[in-house]
Structure formats: C-alpha cells, structure tokens
Amino acid sequence: MTNETLPKTAKLTLGDHAIDLPVMVGTAGEVAIDIRQLRAKAGAITYDPGLGNTGACLSKITFLDGEQGVLRYAGYPIEELAKSSHFVEVMWLLLHQELPSAQQLAQFTHDITYHTMLHEDLKRLFSSLPKAGHPMAVCAAAVGALSTFYQTAGNQTHEQNWIDAIRLLAKMPTIAAYSYKHSIGQPFMYPRNDLSYAGNILHMMFATPCEAYEPNPIVARALDLLLILHADHEQNCSTSTVRTVGSSGANLFASVSAGISALWGPLHGGANQAVIEMLMSIRDGKRTAREFMELAKKKDSGVRLMGFGHRVYKNYDPRALILKQACYDVLGQLGKKDPLLDIAIELEQIALNDAYFVDRKLYPNVDFYSGIIYKALGIPVDMFTVYFAIGRMPGWISQWLEYQADPEARITRPRQVFMGATPRPYQPVEKR
C-alpha cells in the first residue's frame, strides 16, 4: 500500500459496534493508527506489554528502520556522521535537528567547555559512597543531586532548560570520571579547557597530579566515535524513562538520573559490560564458545548471548557494523591484539549459521563489539555502561526537551487489564 492508497481511517469492529480510527503516516512512511479516542468510543483499551506496537510520541530527532538496519539522526545517516562528524557537533544536531553553522558550533563548544566543573560540595557525595559501588549508581545519584545545586531547574522556561542542558552535557564527563577516581582512591582531576570533549574525559580519568598527561589522539578519536554511535536511539527503555519522568513535570536532572538507572540494566546499556564478561569467561576456559551458544539457546538456562538481539532491529544493527570494523582499526592503530575479538567473531559466526538465531532474526547489536574497543582504550569494565551514558546524554536531553515543547504531550499514565481478585469482604486476622 502506498501513501496515496492508504485509507484515512482504520475500522475497528467490537461486537456489533464499529468505529473509525484516524490513520497517520510519518515522514519515513511509518503507518500508525491514532487510538486516542478508542476507550471513549469503543469502551476498550489496547494491550501491548513492552509497548512494542505503541507509538508514544511524535519525534523529529532519530529515525531507525529495524528491518533494513537503518539509523539516522535528524536525517543524517549514522555511517556519514561516524565518518565525518564529531560528538559535539552531533550533540547540537540532536538538540536542534539541524547541523550547526561554524559560529553556532564555536559558541556551543565554548559553552560545553566552560561548564565542566562540579560544585566543590558535590565532591562529598562521591566520597560518601562505598568505593566498590557500581559507578552507574554513583552517576545516577550525582546527576540527581545536581537539582540540589541548581534549584532553578524546576522553573522550566525554555532558557532555563537550555542552561540545564548545557550543564548536564558539560558535567557528565566530570561526574563519570569522579565516580572512577573515587573507586580507585585517586584524587579528582579538574577538567582541562584546552582539550577536546573526548580528550578531557581521558584526562579526568587517567591523569594524576604527579605528572603531565596528554591524551592519545587515536584513543580520543575512537572514544569520540563510540560517543557518536551511542548518542540517540529513539524511544528505547532509558529514553522512554526520561520522557516519562519528565512528563510529570520533573526537572531535567531528575529525569536523566532515572534514565541512567534504566540504562544500567543488562538487557539495555549494561549489556556492554555483560558482553565483555561473557567473552572473558570463554577466554578463561569456563566453557567453549560452542558450549556457551548451546546454553544461550536453552530458555531455562537463564543465559543469553549478550550483545545479540534487539527489540527493533531484525537485521544487523548498523552501529555494530561500524564498531566491528573499528575494533580492527583501533587494535591495529594501537598495536594491540585481543583474543576476545576472535571469540566474538567465533560467536557471531556460530549465531549467523544457527537456525535458533537466524529464525529469530538475532544479530549483533551496538554492545557486542563496543566493549572490545573500550577495553583496548584502557577503560575499566565497570565503566563501560557509564561511557554509554555519556554518549546517550544528548539523546536523552533532546528527547526530554522535545517532550516539554510538544503541545500534545500529557503525563505518561498507561492503563492495565486487571486480572486480580473481584470485590470480597475483609476478614479479620483471627478468621483467616
């Protein structure tokens, strides 16, 4: 069916009751049935656990076609951005859905660079938390705590939201690096304004006050690429969380703190850490790759092939394709070898030739190869998901801002199909 032949309404028949529901088409051809009047007109709701068939918003930020393996930020293919752009420019692109002029980019870069310091009192939050605590928990706490330092955040004017967006984009690397420095007992390193966004992250992570440190440009470029690839992915779990929390009127810091928590889970961003742990367990001889794959196919084993499968992609995730090549490039440029890459390739080959994975259209996702690069760059394993969070920050913020400006936005409040007890009289405890 083409756009021209597509009917303007979809007919729903429930018993002897028929209603027409408006049909809408997105700019990339996505067809949606507008069910906002469904309950009022038909007395019924939809049932869609995991919301796999539910469009919860209109968005101009990111497009992805899971069948074709296509990802575009504001119309620009991810492959082109990965090759020719850089993370700060991509941040602007997501926030404005246009590429910046040279002057806009210079001003934005200046703003991002000059808001990187944290209030000195915020340092005490890091030192009050156990060193062994996961850095994602530390980052969620620190981002949430920004609301206590910038109490104007609840005053959601356009100007205030923009200031908060700049603060968050600028301070997230500092928060991330401080969470790491605290975990290893090293002094916090103040940001350096002469470095690039990625170079400054490396400086705050790996420099010490004892000696001069210059970030390796190969490492900084590879990190910048990872940040670009993670920058947005439309209505994924953490982004939907950020929008949902923001829909109640909660401020940007509170909303993004919730997004960080959502990202932490192993089915979402936490998969990058889980992948490397899976590869290391195979390297260390816990099981062979084939034994692992057999286990991953058994439902009751509780084991999944981490970094594989995706709710939306039923084809190769285009980000995984870029990252697979980047693994070879980065390892080659740094003169490193990593047996984990060979294990990953072996797992992928087994999966691509196994009916279980082929039939279910399970392909490598962004997390399958990213960890190998993080490891080559010297990033500690439990910081992998934190780096994902730094990358996803402009996506979360852009989506939150879009929600705030959306005249059709309402507080997120799904319904349910109640399957519990029907009314019954209360029984005093001695009679139960």
- Could you give the CA distance from residue 311 to residue 268 in angstroms, rounded to a whole number? 10
- Does the annotation count 367 as an active-site position? yes
Sort residue 302 into left (φ over 0), alpha (ψ -120 to 50) or beta: left
Q: Which stretch binds ligand CMC (CB under 6 A): 17-25, 200-208, 264-272, 398-406?
A: 264-272
DSSP 8-state code for residue 129: S
Task: Check residue 199 for interaction with ligand CMC (CB under 6 A).
Answer: no
82-101 residues near ligand CMC, rule: CB under 6 A: none
Catalytic residue among 233, 367, 382, 406, which? 367
- Name the residue nearer to ligand CMC (CB basis): 251 or 365: 365
Rounded to the nearest 5°, which phi and psi values hold at 177? -65, -40
- Could you give the CA distance from residue 95 to residue 105 in angstroms, rounded to a whole number? 12
- Name the residue nearer to ligand CMC (CB basis): 299 or 431: 299
- Could you give the CA distance from residue 221 to residue 415 in angstroms, rounded to a whole number? 46
Task: Check residue 304 for interaction with ligand CMC (CB under 6 A).
Answer: yes
Q: Which two tokens stand for residue 216?
A: 């390796």
- The answer to whether 165 and 95 are in contact (CB under 8 A) is yes
Quick one: which of 87, 178, 180, 308 contacts ligand CMC (CB under 6 A)? 308
Least Å from the CB of residue 350 to ligand CMC: 12
Catalytic residue among 86, 182, 310, 317, which? 310
- The answer to whether 251 and 370 are in contact (CB under 8 A) is no
Sort residue 209 into left (φ over 0), alpha (ψ -120 to 50) or beta: alpha
CB count within 10 Å of CB 431 equals: 6
Task: Check residue 267 for interaction with ligand CMC (CB under 6 A).
Answer: yes
Least Å from the CB of residue 431 to ligand CMC: 44
**Interaction mask 331-370, ligand CMC, x per CB under 6 A:** -----------------------------x-x--xxx---
Least Å from the CB of residue 213 to ligand CMC: 31
- The sign one gets for the Cα dihedral 300, 306, 310, 315 is negative
- Does the annotation count 86 as an active-site position? no
- The answer to whether 142 and 128 are in contact (CB under 8 A) is no
Quick one: which of 78, 91, 289, 306 contacts ligand CMC (CB under 6 A)? 306
Q: Which stretch binds ligand CMC (CB under 6 A): 183-191, 205-213, 299-307, 332-340?
A: 299-307
Tokens 């899971």 map to which residue? 66
Quick one: which of 305, 341, 373, 397 contacts ligand CMC (CB under 6 A)? 305
Residue 25 CA: distances (Å) to CA of 8, 43, 299, 352: 10, 25, 38, 34
**Interaction mask 14-53, ligand CMC, x per CB under 6 A:** ------------------------------------x---
User: Which residues belong to the active site?
Assistant: 310, 367
| Interface residues toward ligand CMC, by CB under 6 A | 50, 236, 267-269, 271, 296, 304-311, 360, 362, 365-367
